[in-house]
Structures are given as structure tokens and as C-alpha cells.
Amino acid sequence: MPENVNAGAGGYPIYSLERVRVLGHDPAKTPSCAPGVAETGDRTVLGCQCFRQCRFDRLPYGTFKGIEPQRVGYFYRTIEGREKTDQIACHQFVMTLQAAEDEAKAAELRGDRHETVRIIAHQGETFKRVRTKVHPLAKDGSPRWETVIEDVLIKPMVEAAQDVYEEYRKDVADQYTGNMTVPPAVPDAEAPTRPPGRPMAQPVGKRA
């Protein structure tokens, strides 16, 4: 089977190391949920760029580090009090919300106002997602928003029998673009090819 070049572009995995080998990809070029060269010195396994900082081997984060990449559900509140619940790839959490969580804990110890970040669900579990649906502007030019609450089941990034990286990207991107229910200010979908920005909580419950 030809190597999945796209999956290796950014070093962020959607497969376990075992799955990479089963699919016939080169583990040295296709990222997997495994320690990489920086941790082991073994150049035959690319691993995950976030492996060293990853906390998904302990609760409440999870217990799947080194086994397979997963999505998790999270709760995020801004300093101003705006809230967001959604799901995110583990590597994306490590690069964005994990840092936000650390900053929040440090601010709390100082007695400063702070963000709130916490894991609320794992693969196979369901959580309530609060989204902000944007309507056309009112006649007076004011924005019109509607709060939408939906049940979300956290599914595997890629089913065991699949080798569908591009379909995976499209499926996740559709959450934010094809079925636009949040303002464009929300960052792009989980993008293994580039580090994403911190998810931005959107105003909730405002309607004209």
C-alpha cells in the first residue's frame, strides 16, 4: 500500500503505531501515537511531536497515551465568562488548551481572574455541546445569535478498518465550515498539518 504522505506532513497522528504498520505505511515517515526520535533516539519511528508534553496517560485527561490518538470533549470558559463545549484531537489539546489550563492554574494561585479548562468526555462517551448559531443581521444592523445544545458522541478519529485521512479531514472540517453553526472566528478544524490556535469561546444566548 502506498505511503500516506498527507498523514506525515505535520507529525500529528491519527493512527496507532500498530495501525501504521498494518496499513503498510513507513513508521519513520507516518506519525503515530508513540514516542519519537526526541524521546527514544530511534529514527525508525516518527511518533508524535506532542508525546513528551502529552498528559493523556493520567486522569482526568485519559489513559490512551502511546496506544492510539483520540478526541476528547472539553469545557472552556474565557476570563469574561463566555463558555464553549466541544471535542478536540488529543494533539490539538496538548498544543492549545493544555497551555491554557496551566496558565489558568497559575493565575488562580496568584488570585487573578483566569480562564477555565477541563476535560468532560472521552472516546465512546456523549457530552452536551453548546454552539452559537449565527443568523443574518437584524434590520437595525445588530447581530442575531441563537444558542444550540446538542448531544455529541465522541467517535474514534479513524475506524479500525479505514485508511481515510482525507475523509477524516473533511469530516472534521465540515463541523466548522460546511455546516456553519459558529462564527468564523473559531479556528479551523483539527488540522494535523499545522498547529491550531486556542479555541475561542463564543457569545452565548444573545438574540435581537
Any domain includes 188? no
Any domain includes 181? no
Q: What is the pLDDT of residue 179?
A: 40
Any domain includes 168? yes
End-to-end CA distance of the chain: 55
CA distance 30 to 27: 5
Any domain includes 28? yes
Contacts of 43 (CB under 8 A, 6+ apart): 28, 37
Any domain includes 203? no
Exposed, middle or buried, 76 (CB in 10 Å: 0-12/13-18/19+)? buried
Q: What is the pLDDT of residue 174?
A: 59
Any domain includes 107? yes
Better pLDDT: 191 or 198: 198
Nearest Cα neighbor of 94 from 53, 65, 129 is: 53
Any domain includes 186? no
Domain total in the chain: 1
Structural domain span for residue 51: 6-176
Better pLDDT: 122 or 145: 122
Mean pLDDT, all residues of the chain: 78
For 89, half-sphere exposure in the C-beta direction (CA atoms, 13 angstrom radius) is 28
Task: Please check the confidence at residue 13 and state whether its pLDDT lies above 80.
Answer: yes
With cut-offs at 50, 70 and 90, classify the pLDDT of residue 10: low
With cut-offs at 50, 70 and 90, classify the pLDDT of residue 190: very low
Span 72-94, mean pLDDT? 91
Q: What is the pLDDT of residue 83?
A: 85
Indicate the length of the chain as a whole number: 208
Task: Please check the confidence at residue 144 and state whether its pLDDT lies above 90.
Answer: no
Q: What is the pLDDT of residue 73?
A: 96
Q: What percent of the chain has pLDDT over 70?
A: 71
